[in-house]
Structures are given as structure tokens and as C-alpha cells.
Structure 1
Amino acid sequence: MKLHEMSAQYEQLYQIADSIEEKVFEDTLQAIEEPLREKAINIAKLILTWDDDISTLDNEIKRLKALKKSIETRQNQTREYLLFSLNKAGIKKVNDVKYPLTIRNNTKINVYDFSRLPDRFIRYKPGEPDKIAIKKAINEKETVPGAESIDTQTIKIG
């Protein structure tokens, strides 16, 4: 029998308590109460088992996040090593059918002093500079207080 069915029987018994003999009430109450208590204990055990499962999963998530971060760090370091080595050798492109490599020059915006940016360069998404507007202004030879244009390189694989 399900817990909610047992609870309903318990409630029904109390509703008719005044119309039945005390001995019958106590016997029926005991017959309902004991399985109800057992069911409640079993459900409590299940809940605690889930606590253990949740804790195990939280630990696994932490472990996997750390592993992911480690792999991303190695990937970025290796990418920088490849970029450095190709630049040192003066190679800007490697033609390969499966893994073509091309060094591209990029320009990104570095906001070094957010507080100095004019309002027209602030997005009204809480606290984010509008780098697209800043880049456009800098490309048009406008001085943008608090921001500068920085030339960088990335490597495209594939």
C-alpha cells in the first residue's frame, strides 16, 4: 500500500473515532500505524541514499571541471607554442589536406579603464563596455579614453 493511501486511512479512522468502540479504534490504529511508520522509515532511507548520490555527483562534477580546465590550459599552451614556433620560423601558412594552418592577425579591444569610457561606449547591459562601438570609433581614428586597440594573433586549425 502507498504512503498516501495509508495516510488517508489514518485520517478516516480519526474522523469516525467517536462512533466506534475504543478497543476497535486502538486495534485499527495500531494496524494502520505500524505499516505507516515502516513506510515512512523506508522513504527516509531513500532520501538519505539520494543525499549520498548527490554528494557523489557533486564531487564528480568538481573532478570533471578540474579535468576540463587542465585540458583547456594544455590546449591553449600548445596553441601558443605552435603559434610562437611558426612565427619564429616565418611560416604564416601550412597547406595540409587534413590540418591546414593559417596565422591570422586580429585586433581586439582592451578596456583598461572602464570608468573613463564615454557613455556612448557603454552597453546598458549591466557593466559591459560596447566593444563593437569602441572598435569602430578607434578604426575611424577617434580617441576613446579608457580603451585601446591591441593587435594579436590566433591560429586557425582546419
Structure 2
Amino acid sequence: MNIRPIEQKDNPYIAAIIRQSLESTNLAIEGTAYTDPQLDQLFEYYQSLTHAAYWIAEEQGEIVGGVGIAPFTNGVCELQKLYLSPKAQGKGAGKKLMDTALEYASTYYEACYLETRRELTAAIGLYQRYGFSLLSEPLEGSEHSAMDAWYLKTFSS
């Protein structure tokens, strides 16, 4: 499993993985990443932001997932668009992506925020293992209205 920064040529592949993942969990709806305007141009989107990045997980040359970090507000970043293809699930790809993203995030931010859905129990288990704590409500400025679980991880200084 190789983790690397996104390249422009990756855009259609990771967008397809994200859409398929959301469709498979009945979350291809307004208020999720499914309708994000930047979904088909993730390379350009993350390049346009300061202290932001998106990584691709590749297995034998095939893109099987990705994750992003972007600024949220005042020393807080957001873990964004962590999605895996079905063939990559349960094989350590999520852990490798999280390791990469959180190491990067801890360099520039004091804390990391994420939004998810309660029924995505495998993802929530991963977030909790990484020290994310459940919040009672979203942070101000949250964009994905269909999400119903919000987590925050504070980095030790």
C-alpha cells in the first residue's frame, strides 16, 4: 500500500470512489461530500488552500482511497473526504491514510475536526482509536448539514 500526494490525473478516480462509497451507504444526498462543488477537482482544490493537502492510497498502481486536511478555523483543521474502495477496506489503508493526514495536520494545527454519520460505525471506530472525541454539536462553520456526528482531536504541543 502506497500513500502519496494527489496528482491532477487522480481526480476522476478518487471522485468515483467517493461517489460510490456514498451511494453504497445511501448518503448520495445534499449535505454530504456527494454534492461538493470541488469533488471533481480535488487536486486543484487542495492546491489552492494554505496548509492543506490530499493523499491517495494506491495498491499495485490502483487508486483505492484518499483523505484530505484543510483549514477550518482558528488553529483547527478538518479531516476531509476519507473514503476507501470496498477492496481496500479492512486492509490497513484507512490507518495509513490517517497516520499521514494527522502527522501533517499536527505540524500546522492545534486540533482536527471531522464530521460523519452515526451509522458509519467502522469509520467512527477508526476515529476513536486515533483519539477523536465526540462533540455534542458541529463546530460553527460546518458545511455538511446531513452529518449527525462530530469529532475533535487536540494535538499535544
Taking structure 2 as the reference length, what is the TM-score of the superposition? 0.21
**When you count helix as a share of all residues, which structure comes out higher?**
1
TM-score (norm 1): 0.21
- Which structure carries more strand by proportion? 2
Q: Which has the larger radius of gyration?
A: 1
